[in-house]
Amino acid sequence: MRGNKKMKRIYVKEEWCLGCHLCEYNCAFANSGESDMVLALKGKPIYPRIHVEGGEKITYAVSCRHCEDPICLKSCIAGAITHNEGVVKIDREKCVGCLTCVLVCPYGALAAGEDGLMQKCELCLQNAFGAPACVSGCPNGAIVYEETEGSQ
């Protein structure tokens, strides 16, 4: 579970972020199960698993860091969070929406979905995209998916 194996992670470069929020739309689309982006998103509130923070001077996208030692997993009162091969996942069948994971995530990376239960970035590995849609859709290369020196 907690190997030293290098895992690819999503990193952001705030100096490149335009604050365009496209990552949020691409995320919501990738996780919608729809094949048409307009059908999936038009006229609906979106609940992406990545969000843009910042202000006038800087912006950057925040999503799950897939920590090596995830405090959300250790804190979940429903045993709904798991960590396998570098991916932290949440089982929505088990989640009761208590938001303890929101209370403990030191990155402010987690938010509930439309139904009040938690959802989170699972790197698009299980959806039709197969790789993070926020990364491939970023127009300025401000979100990357790679192995780097950092560890969480």
Least distance (Å) between residue 56 CB and other proteins: 10
Q: Using CB under 8 A, count the residues that bind other proteins.
A: 42
Least Å from the CB of residue 115 to other proteins: 11
Residue 83 is inside which H or E element, if any? strand 81-84
> Which 3 state secondary structure label does DSSP give 146?
strand
Work out the burial of residue 5: count CB atoms within 10 Å of its CB; fewer than 13 is exposed, 13-18 middle, 19 or more buried. exposed
User: Least separation, in Å, of the C-beta of 118 and other proteins?
Assistant: 11
| 18 touches other proteins by CB under 8 A | no
Which residues share a beta bridge with 54?
Answer: 59
Distances (CA, A) of 144 to 42, 56, 132: 27, 22, 9
> Which residues, numbered 84-143, are part of the site for other proteins (CB under 8 A)?
93-94, 96-108, 110-111, 116
Site string for other proteins, 21-60 (x = CB under 8 A): --------------------------------xxx--x-x
Query: Do residues 49 and 31 lie in contact, with contact meaning Cβ atoms separated by under 8 Å?
Result: yes
Task: Return the number of other C-beta atoms located less than 10 Å from residue 94's C-beta.
Answer: 14
Smaller CB separation from other proteins, 43 or 55? 55
| Contacting residues toward other proteins, per CB under 8 A | 2, 9, 11-14, 53-55, 58, 60-62, 65, 71, 74-75, 77-79, 93-94, 96-108, 110-111, 116, 148-151
